[in-house]
Amino acid sequence: MSDKVIPILDQRSGQALPKLPAQMLPPTGLLADALGRPLRDLRISVTDRCNFRCSYCMPKQVFDKHYEFLPHSDLLSFEEITRLARVFVAHGVQKLRLTGGEPLLRRHIEALIEMLSEIRTPEGLPLDLTLTTNGSLLARKAASLKAAGLQRVTVSLDGLDDAVFQRMNDVGFPVAEVLAGIEAAQAAGLGPIKVNMVVKCGVNDQEILPMARHFRGSGVTLRFIEYMDVGATNGWRMDEVLPSSEVLARLREEFDLLPLSASVAGETAERWSYDSENAGGQGEIGLISSVTQAFCGDCNRARLSTEGKLYTCLFAHRGHDLRALLRSGASEAELSGAIGLLWGARADRYSQLRASGVSSLGDGERRVEMHYIGG
């Protein structure tokens, strides 16, 4: 396996203010993009820092002790995040996911969760408020996260074998502490819990069946994710992608899997129950085929970076500076109008274009890094 890493392109410098519409119209909750896709899911990165150095996200060769992370003053404040979240909800967002980096490294994250948990949809319904974490701090924080209003968590876990897991996180963090975090989250009621495993061929694919055995019947949904070409620093190669079809074939060697229908519109995972004779009784497995089976067609997700740039695709090469608009004194109507224009013009379908052999990037452009906008 090659250790080559492409130098990072810093996407954090300021950009021009987003455009405002000529006429400010109130949000209807029915905002759709240029391809007719609604806005339902907002992923909010609360920090660009992480205590892991996973090769597919923050390789140590780039994110070393000399790497300059954003100063605190550049981050969106909790009040700014909440203000923007309210505008997105008015446009139709029903789910908020806090990401990073590692979101539990953001000081007083419980205060932000409490603020976001008070937001209601135009119909008066609570939001689906979730958080994705590497699990390293979850054991000590699960109870306080639940008390603050967090509903559930997704935990990244790339193997059960301690040597494999420590090699993947590249900081020597033991798998037992992540498993303890998952148990603490279950005890606190942060569920249903999902566990995401990024599969790299020849690196941790031998952990597929042990992971499935471990989480079967546990109440935890396990999802296998194809190794993605997000950003430019992880040295991504197609020969390190294990297609979901092959993951499924391995699972079927041991489990009598039954296909399940999508649980929500725009769902990224193909769902399977462990036992066709007792459908759903032993839990389920998900397959996220982000490379071999594009799911751009019904993608309803927007991403807000740590310092307030809006990205309309995980594979985007540029963001739109909502922080600058916020700090210029923009009104709620102006924020709403700018977001409406940006989403309304969205035509992103990177994965579909890649599958057809067409590049959506111009000369010299690189996709944004995963640690910067979350997965």
What single-letter DSSP state applies at residue 100? S
User: Distances in Å between the alpha carbon of 100 and those of 49, 173, 306?
Assistant: 7, 18, 8
> What is the per-residue burial (b if ≥16 Cβ within 10 Å, else e) of 64-98?
eeeeebbeeeebbebebbbbbbbbbbbbbbbbbbb
Q: Give the Cα separation of 93 and 88 in Å (integer).
A: 6
Q: Give the Cα separation of 305 and 321 in Å (integer).
A: 9
Residue 111 pLDDT exceeds 50: yes
The pLDDT assigned to 371 comes to 63
pLDDT, tens only, 29-52: 999 999 999 999 999 999 999 999
CB 158 within 8 A of CB 204: yes
Q: Tell me the average pLDDT across 230-245.
A: 72
Q: Tell me the average pLDDT across 136-140.
A: 98
| CATH number belonging to the domain at 41-193+302-373, selected among 3.40.50.1000, 3.20.20.70, 3.90.79.10, 3.90.650.10 | 3.20.20.70
Q: Which two tokens stand for residue 201?
A: 């061929």
pLDDT, tens only, 282-333: 899 999 988 887 668 889 999 999 999 999 988 777 899 999 999 999 999 9
Phi, psi of 42 (to 5 degrees): -120, 125
* Cβ count near 353 (within 10 Å): 16
Residue 28 pLDDT exceeds 50: yes
Q: Which two tokens stand for residue 39?
A: 């806005």
Q: Give the Cα separation of 325 and 338 in Å (integer).
A: 9
Residue 357 pLDDT exceeds 70: no
Residue 57 pLDDT exceeds 90: no
Q: Give the Cα separation of 237 and 227 in Å (integer).
A: 9
The pLDDT assigned to 13 comes to 55
Q: Give the Cα separation of 17 and 324 in Å (integer).
A: 6
Give the DSSP per-residue string, 84-98.
HHHHHHHTT--EEEE
Residue written as token pair 């954090």 = 12
In which band, very low, low, confident or very high, does the pLDDT at 350 lie, cut at 50, 70 and 90?
confident
**138-148 and 109-117 helices cross at what angle (nearest 10)?**
30
Residue 276 pLDDT exceeds 80: no
Percent of the chain having pLDDT more than 90? 71
Residue 76 pLDDT exceeds 80: yes
Is the Cα dihedral 185, 186, 190, 194 positive or negative? positive
Q: Tell me the average pLDDT across 165-187.
A: 97
The pLDDT assigned to 159 comes to 97
The pLDDT assigned to 375 comes to 59
Spatial CA neighbour of 46 closest among 86, 74, 88, 68: 74
Q: Which two tokens stand for residue 317?
A: 């090469």
* Cβ count near 134 (within 10 Å): 25
Q: Tell me the average pLDDT across 115-143.
A: 97
Residue 229 pLDDT exceeds 80: no
Q: Tell me the average pLDDT across 147-172.
A: 97
Residue 337 pLDDT exceeds 70: yes
Q: Give the Cα separation of 286 and 193 in Å (integer).
A: 13
More confident residue, 110 or 229: 110
Q: Give the Cα separation of 286 and 59 in Å (integer).
A: 26
- Which range is least confidently modeled, 10-24, 177-191, 315-329? 10-24
